[in-house]
Structure 1
Amino acid sequence: MIHSKRLSTMIAMAAGLFFACSPTVTQAQNIRIGQTTGVTGSAAVTVKESMQGAALYFNQVNAQGGIAGRKIELITLDDKFDPAQTLENAYVLIEEKKVVALFMPSGTPNTQQLVPTLDKFSVPLVGPTSGAMVLHRPVATNLFHVRAPYQREVEMAIGHLVRQGSTRIGVLYVDDTSGDDGLAGAMKGFKQTQIEPLFLETFDRNKPDFSVSAPRILAKQPQAVIVIGSGSPAVEAILALRKVGYGSHIVTLSNNASSGFIKALGDKARGIIVTQVFPSERSTGKPLIQALQLSARAQGVTSISPAMVEGYASAKVLVEGLRRAAPNIDRTSLHDALESIRQYDLGGMELNYSSTNHSGLEYTELSIIGSDGRFQR
């Protein structure tokens, strides 16, 4: 069996997340941050890019001396997008690795698994990549969001489709808590626009099969299909719809806003609408994007994706909390420091926390995948 410390290092190497330590700073002096996420598994393509974005900011901070002279050490364990493994990894990170916080887990069921453990050990978690409302309300004491909720994304998408003349809209959603959450947002959107959903179809998170549902959906002649799911199952759903001849609008959510998602779709990517929870990676008018682009160039990264923007922004929020908690950084001081963040300029976006609000940002907009294989706003 591979020792957990060695396993952590191997996974970090695979993800390209080495954070250089000064020769004068020992590992015990580092600020340890834990991450359990789907380095492999169905969400891996997006996870890889969000991790790369976070690494850019952590590397940047470490190169400038870290926090109060201490370097940030991110310990990443692969949970393969499996909620049971997420929980097991969390115990390793909290009890064995003694991390001060957890950071950017992937998946709604995965993050839900963590909430009781966070409370048990009073460990703050920053930047879950899930936007499920169940993680926002009621406010979880130790969960600090950066991205906007999924429900707001789906409501916005349906409103846009209806304004453009589409009224025959159906929903194809994953049969788990994230799918249920997205569906709740869709139903709000349908109610606001005074239309009924054309169909509601589910698919299995672990073994998706669209051989029956795709032809059935095509037969209903929808003007738009909203696909709610992460990573490879969402890709399979879209490819299955295109294969049976469906040629109209397909919308999916920001948890698929990665270059890897576009690559996986191949020549079927063009025209897919993807909701976004951060400004475009090419919005040079946004200070957040300017800073990310500079950091990427300095570290030899030539391509930026929306998932990288989310990773970079989430890392920036965590670091702001660490700076406010310094010099005596522990789990309690970090939690209190995060709740003290008010009207924080993330780079052209205002983020707010309090004891009754851990939702962070409210930014949402639409993008479409262009013929050049990039997200267009």
Structure 2
Amino acid sequence: MISKRLIAGPAITLLAATAACTAVDGSDDDTASGAGITSEACPNAVNPDNGCIYLGVLSDLEGGPFAALGTPIHEGQLAFWQRVNEQGGIAGHDIDLSTYTRNTAYSVDRHATEYQDIEPHILALAMSLGTPQTESVLPNMDAADIVAVPGSWWSGLHFNDTDQGLILESGYSYCTESVIGLDWYSEEHGAPSTLVTVGYPGDYGSDAATGARRWAEENDVEVLAEINTAPNAMVQDQAGPIEQILTLAPDVVVLATAPAEAAEIVATTVARGYGGRFMGSVPTWNPGLLQTAAIQALTARYNQTSPWQNWDGQSAGMDAIRDSLGGNLPTNQGYVFGWVWSYALKELLEKAAAEDDLSRSGLRDAIDGLEVSYEGILPDRTFGDPPALEDLTAVITVPDANVELGTRTVAEAVTATTSIDYGAACVTP
């Protein structure tokens, strides 16, 4: 969830090629071994003697509010699967991520339409961006045994009764992010007496606010207000939340907005004398904030919470990400998101192949007990039961114009010390 006013993602050069390749249909080919799989090579195959596995992508790549994030997410995924193909592919098949990539512009209706268009031809969804969008097609996915990688951190994706056991989520949720972040804040800055949350209502801001409220209840901290807001494109400015923060003067504010709104809130309240600190959810930051008047206030009073290592992280996975760019920088951390989100689907394809059931139902069955290695970018994960709160980790960063992509890591592998009720989705969108 990045404001497109602050960063302008580069155009995806493969989109034209994607449109040109839509005639390929693995499910109808007489050499197909199942929906989304053919014994014939992929278009532009790295390994021409391999067959092809077609994966679908439904994302905001152009024209929607999160295209500036969706674009680098997609680029990171393309690079991830390119590396897989260069390493020989999976079970004698290359992976094709381009033929059935569709731009949804973050529209629920368009997401559903494009899903219906590509569903007969794919083995799985490598990306389904947006919680409401994914929820809109989940019954169809359930009927067709389509598993998906989500572009979301909604807490409901941790639980089978809300995601039908079809979603390959990675990292924490917005709800648990608040708990981990506030525990780190208390350790670093002392336990607060009061807090306020500011966010977009729904699967993002309400999820984060619920986690903060549950944390506060367990730690005898007063929640002075849960402030709902919206993007400036809808409400013009953040004057309402700003005035409430200044009036209430909480020790800490938990932000779950887009970057433009976060920058306005932090810069204006600090300039007008607010003395507390801000904890920002992962979508509240992008490098464009370094070029705004908010940077001094952000550097002094703001910490960013992230579900896995940032650009300055040291691990085999981050080395591979940096190597994939040949010394260049991505537009933003979305490139890292796309790469990291892809690990679980790769491991699932390999497990299903090893069990001699590389099919939609085979993938679905293989999720239970699936072991995923993220090459050190975040802890390894075993799918099946919902993750325990104490096993979820965060990375805490601070804005820093002197480091690449603008955030410097100050703490890694941060875990919650507060226990909350986390047996179901924190909110239902």
TM-score by structure 2 length? Answer: 0.72
Provide, for residues 131-153 of structure 1, a one-character-per-residue CA deviation record: whole Å limited to 9, x for no partner. Answer: 21122234422112112112111
Give unmatched runs, 5+ long, in structure 2: 1-12, 20-41, 411-429
Which deviates more, 194-203 or 66-75? 66-75
State how far apart, in whole Å, the 1-side matches of 2:266 and 2:111 are. Answer: 28
State how far apart, in whole Å, the 1-side matches of 2:75 and 2:328 are. Answer: 9
State how far apart, in whole Å, the 2-side matches of 1:365 and 1:79 are. Answer: 30
Say whether the 8 Å CA contact 2:69–2:334 is kept in structure 1: yes
Say which of 189, 206, 222 aligns to 1:180.
Answer: 206
State how far apart, in whole Å, the 1-side matches of 2:251 and 2:286 are. Answer: 25
2:244 match: 216
Which deviates more, 133-142 or 241-250? 241-250
1:153 match: 177
Say whether the 8 Å CA contact 2:246–2:274 is kept in structure 1: yes
User: CA shift at 1:247, angstroms?
Assistant: 6.1
State how far apart, in whole Å, the 2-side matches of 1:89 and 1:358 are. Answer: 31
Is residue 226 of structure 2 the alignment partner of residue 204 of structure 1? no
User: CA shift at 1:266, angstroms?
Assistant: 6.3
2:10 match: none
Give unmatched runs, 5+ long, in structure 1: 1-6
2:159 match: 137
Question: Aligned AA for 1:254?
Answer: V
Which deviates more, 233-242 or 54-63? 233-242
Question: Aligned AA for 2:409?
Answer: Q
Is residue 346 of structure 2 the alignment partner of residue 324 of structure 1? no
Which deviates more, 269-278 or 321-330? 321-330
Q: Secondary structure of the equivalent of 1:32?
A: strand
Distance 1:301 1:62, change over 3 A: farther
Q: Which has the larger radius of gyration?
A: 2
State how far apart, in whole Å, the 1-side matches of 2:206 and 2:85 are. Answer: 40
State how far apart, in whole Å, the 1-side matches of 2:159 and 2:173 are. Answer: 10
Say whether the 8 Å CA contact 1:136–1:359 is kept in structure 2: no
State how far apart, in whole Å, the 1-side matches of 2:349 and 2:113 are. Answer: 25
In the TM superposition, what are the counterparts of 1:105-116 in structure 2 within 5 Å? 105-116=128-139
State how far apart, in whole Å, the 2-side matches of 1:170 and 1:252 are. Answer: 12
In the TM superposition, what are the counterparts of 1:216-365 in structure 2 within 5 Å? 216-230=244-258, 232-234=260-262, 237-238=265-266, 241=269, 246=274, 248-256=276-284, 258-259=286-287, 267=295, 269-271=298-300, 272-284=302-314, 286-297=315-326, 301-303=328-330, 306-326=333-353, 329-342=358-371, 344-348=372-376, 349-354=379-384, 356-357=385-386, 362-365=392-395
State how far apart, in whole Å, the 1-side matches of 2:153 and 2:299 are. Answer: 25
Which deviates more, 325-334 or 302-311? 302-311
Provide, for residues 286-336 of structure 1, a one-character-per-residue CA deviation record: whole Å limited to 9, x for no partner. Answer: 222233233333xx5345854333321222221121222237532112222
2:38 match: none
User: CA shift at 1:235, angstroms?
Assistant: 5.0
Question: Aligned AA for 2:66?
Answer: A
Say whether the 8 Å CA contact 2:153–2:173 is kept in structure 1: yes
Is residue 402 of structure 2 the alignment partner of residue 375 of structure 1? no
Provide, for residues 100-126 of structure 1, a one-character-per-residue CA deviation record: whole Å limited to 9, x for no partner. Answer: 111233333223223222112210012
Q: Secondary structure of the equivalent of 1:364?
A: strand
1:3 match: none
Question: Aligned AA for 2:394?
Answer: T
Question: Aligned AA for 2:280?
Answer: T
Provide, for residues 76-112 of structure 1, a one-character-per-residue CA deviation record: whole Å limited to 9, x for no partner. Answer: 22222233322222222214xx111112333332232
Say whether the 8 Å CA contact 2:75–2:335 is kept in structure 1: yes
Provide, for residues 45-80 of structure 1, a one-character-per-residue CA deviation record: whole Å limited to 9, x for no partner. Answer: 332332222222111112233223322111322222
Say which of 9, 13, 18 aligns to 2:15.
Answer: 9
1:80 match: 105
Provide, for residues 210-231 of structure 1, a one-character-per-residue CA deviation record: whole Å limited to 9, x for no partner. Answer: 2333223222223322111345
State how many pairs are aligned: 357
Distance 1:320 1:43, change over 3 A: same
State how far apart, in whole Å, the 1-side matches of 2:179 and 2:240 are. Answer: 28
State how far apart, in whole Å, the 1-side matches of 2:137 and 2:289 are. Answer: 26
State how far apart, in whole Å, the 1-side matches of 2:102 and 2:264 are. Answer: 26
State how far apart, in whole Å, the 2-side matches of 1:66 and 1:314 are. Answer: 18
Is residue 111 of structure 2 the alignment partner of residue 90 of structure 1? no
1:4 match: none
Provide, for residues 156-175 of structure 1, a one-character-per-residue CA deviation record: whole Å limited to 9, x for no partner. Answer: 22223344133332111102
The share of aligned pairs that are identical, in percent, is 19
State how far apart, in whole Å, the 1-side matches of 2:310 and 2:69 are. Answer: 16
Distance 1:260 1:324, change over 3 A: farther
Distance 1:357 1:19, change over 3 A: farther
Say whether the 8 Å CA contact 1:274–1:368 is kept in structure 2: yes
Distance 1:365 1:23, change over 3 A: closer
State how far apart, in whole Å, the 2-side matches of 1:214 and 1:20 are. Answer: 52
Say whether the 8 Å CA contact 1:283–1:289 is kept in structure 2: yes
Question: Aligned AA for 1:9?
Answer: L
State how far apart, in whole Å, the 2-side matches of 1:306 and 1:25 are. Answer: 35
User: CA shift at 1:234, angstroms?
Assistant: 4.5
TM-score by structure 1 length? Answer: 0.81
Say whether the 8 Å CA contact 2:52–2:96 is kept in structure 1: yes
Distance 1:265 1:185, change over 3 A: farther
